Amino acid sequence: MDKRQHVNKTQYIAVFAITTLVFVAGILLGNFFAGKKLSHIDRLGREVKTDTAAIEIEYDILASDPCKAVNTTPLANDLYALAEKLDYMENALGEDNQDVRDLKNYYSILELRNWLLLKKTNYECSDKKTLILYFYSGKDSCKTCEEQGFILTWVRKNYPNVYVYSFDYNIENAAVKTIKDLYGITTTPSLVIGDLTFDRFMSKNEIVDAVADVERDAQRKSAGKTNETSAVNGETRETGYYTAP
Partner 1 sequence: MITFGEILLYSVSYFGLFTSVFFLWTMLENKRQWKNPSAPKVLPKVTVIVPACNEEKTLAKTVRSLLSLNYPRNKLEIIIVDDGSVDNTLKAAKAFQKQGAIVLTKPNGGKGTALNLALKRASGEFVGCLDADSVVEPGALRKMLGYFADKNVAAVTPSLKCTKPRTVWQAIQVIEFLLGVYLRKVFAFLGAIHVTPGPFTIFRKSFFDKHGGYDTKTVTEDIEISLRMQANHCVIENAADANVYAIPKPTFATLYHQRIRWYRGFLDNVQKYKFLFSRKYGNLGVFILPSAFISVFFAISVVIYVLYRFVDVNVQRFINLYNVNFDVRKLIYLRTDPFYIDANGLMFIGIVALFLSIIIIYLTKIISNEQEHIKWYYVLFMLFYLPLFAFWWVVAIFYKARKGEIIWTGRKRDEKEEKYLF
* Contacts with partner 1, residue ranges (CB under 8 A): 1-7, 11-12, 14-16, 18-19, 22-23, 25-31, 33-34, 37, 40, 85, 88, 92, 94, 96, 146-147, 150-151, 153-154, 157-158, 203-204
Instruction: Please state the closest distance from residue 131 (CB atom) to partner 1, in A.
Output: 20
Instruction: Please state the closest distance from residue 197 (CB atom) to partner 1, in A.
Output: 21
Instruction: Please state the closest distance from residue 207 (CB atom) to partner 1, in A.
Output: 10
What contacts 101, CB < 8 A, 6 or more positions away?
Answer: 95, 171
> Nearer Cβ to partner 1, position 138 or 238?
138
CB 116 within 8 A of CB 178: no
Q: Which helix (H) or strand (E) holds 107?
A: helix 98-124
CB 245 within 8 A of CB 119: yes
How many residues comprise the chain?
245
Instruction: Please state the closest distance from residue 107 (CB atom) to partner 1, in A.
Output: 16
> Nearer Cβ to partner 1, position 146 or 228?
146
> Nearer Cβ to partner 1, position 37 or 237?
37
Instruction: Please state the closest distance from residue 198 (CB atom) to partner 1, in A.
Output: 16
Say how far apart CA 30 and CA 85 lie, in whole Å: 17
CB 132 within 8 A of CB 100: no
Classify 113 as helix, strand or coil.
helix
CB 61 within 8 A of CB 37: no
> Nearer Cβ to partner 1, position 62 or 92?
92
> Nearer Cβ to partner 1, position 37 or 221?
37
